[in-house]
Amino acid sequence: MLMNQPVEVLLSGFCDEISTSKRIDEQFSVAAALGLRYVTLRFLDCGNGVKNILSLDHNERSLVRQRLTDFGLQVSTLGSPVGKVKIVDIPDGTSNVFRPWPDYLDNEVARAIELAQFFDTKLVRGFSFYHPKGSDPREYFALAASRLSEIVKRCADAGLVFGLEVEANLIGHNASSLLEIVERVKHKSMRLIFDGANLVTQGYSTAEVFQQWQKMKPHVGWLHVKDYFAAGTERQSWVDEERLNQFVPVGDGDSGYAEIFQDMQTTFAEIASKAAEIGIPGIFLDLEPHLAGGGQYGGFSGPDGFGVALRSLCKLLDCLDIGYRLRGFVDLRERHTK
């Protein structure tokens, strides 16, 4: 790709944010109506109650795949919770759970890999483990990197990419900690997932978020898009995620996505080239807006809120002359004439 070629991103979204019930038809119909061609799967109700993607049985996953086809949707990433568990079994006053290793690797991780293949996506979202609350995350870099190396190797052996999301309270909670993990793991099938709001909620200023982006971007595989209005949030080592209530449409908060997207254009060819090397079809901007509330394991925007979030993102991309493609009449004709 030449540097002077137009930049075009792929739009996706955590479609469980659309529906209070998490019923798949509600999620997928709104996503399709908004023009999305890709979605990320996380929480779903296939008629037997709400389940995390890793908990679907064989019949449920088959139904989900059929309904994706019915609505003309592809899966961008598997929104798995892999790595969102304690790294050591030490009581710390949180509700975070511990899963014995290597049982966790042979069960939850193996299931995520199987489901990613089943839903025909190469991207598995994951995390860098919880260190005990109040402890120094640096004490756990070596152990986290060792376990993540095993996860990444299994993903790579299956032709998949493991994305490590920056998020509060985890060992990889900022750019420096994530880069330390990257340096220790040293595997091309691990990419970082940038999320500006997850830094703002920790007390990072807009300028500091941009600095975090610049440090992370050589290793970024895709981006999560949500924004947060800081309103004087102070830097903190532990964040009560259930009390976060100032999520706003992208561009209205303190994450500085306009500057980040503008900067991304200067290295877009390099990022896209690295993605193509491991089979990623392009650079995904994955909406996770949380406009009606967010917490440790997910958020909610509603069908109207998700529409607001998507239109705000498209408006920002238009202003920066960054290309994207929503469904049009040609897509409709192609789907219904097959």
Q: Which domains does the chain have, with CATH numbers?
A: 10-336 (3.20.20.150)
Give percent above pLDDT 90 in the chain.
88
3-class state of residue 66 by DSSP: helix
Q: What stretches of the chain adopt beta strand conformation (E)?
A: 10-13, 38-41, 43-45, 50-52, 74-78, 123-126, 161-165, 190-195, 220-225, 227-228, 247-248, 284-287
pLDDT of residue 330: 87
Q: How many CB atoms lie within 10 A of CB 119?
A: 18
**Token duo for residue 113:** 């890999």
Residue 1 reports pLDDT greater than 50:
no
* Rounded Cα gap, residues 74 and 23, in angstroms: 17
Query: How sure is the predictor about 5, in pLDDT bands with cuts at 50, 70 and 90?
Result: low
* Rounded Cα gap, residues 210 and 73, in angstroms: 32
156-212: per-residue pLDDT in tens? 999 999 999 999 999 999 999 999 999 999 999 999 999 999 999 999 999 999 999
Question: Which of 338 and 241 is assigned the larger pLDDT?
Answer: 241
Residue 224 reports pLDDT greater than 90:
yes
106-127: per-residue pLDDT in tens? 999 999 999 999 999 999 999 9
Q: The tokens 């006053």 sit on which residue?
A: 93
Query: How sure is the predictor about 277, in pLDDT bands with cuts at 50, 70 and 90?
Result: confident
Closest CA to 17 of 314, 311, 316, 294: 294
3-class state of residue 281 by DSSP: coil
Residue 338 reports pLDDT greater than 70:
no
pLDDT of residue 2: 41
**Token duo for residue 197:** 């709001």
298-323: per-residue pLDDT in tens? 999 999 999 999 999 999 999 999 99
Predicted TM-score (pTM) above 0.75: yes
Residue 242 reports pLDDT greater than 60:
yes
pLDDT of residue 4: 52
Average pLDDT of 323-330?
94
44-69: per-residue pLDDT in tens? 999 999 999 999 999 999 999 999 99
pLDDT of residue 231: 74
DSSP annotation of 30 reads: H
**Average pLDDT over the chain, rounded to whole?**
95
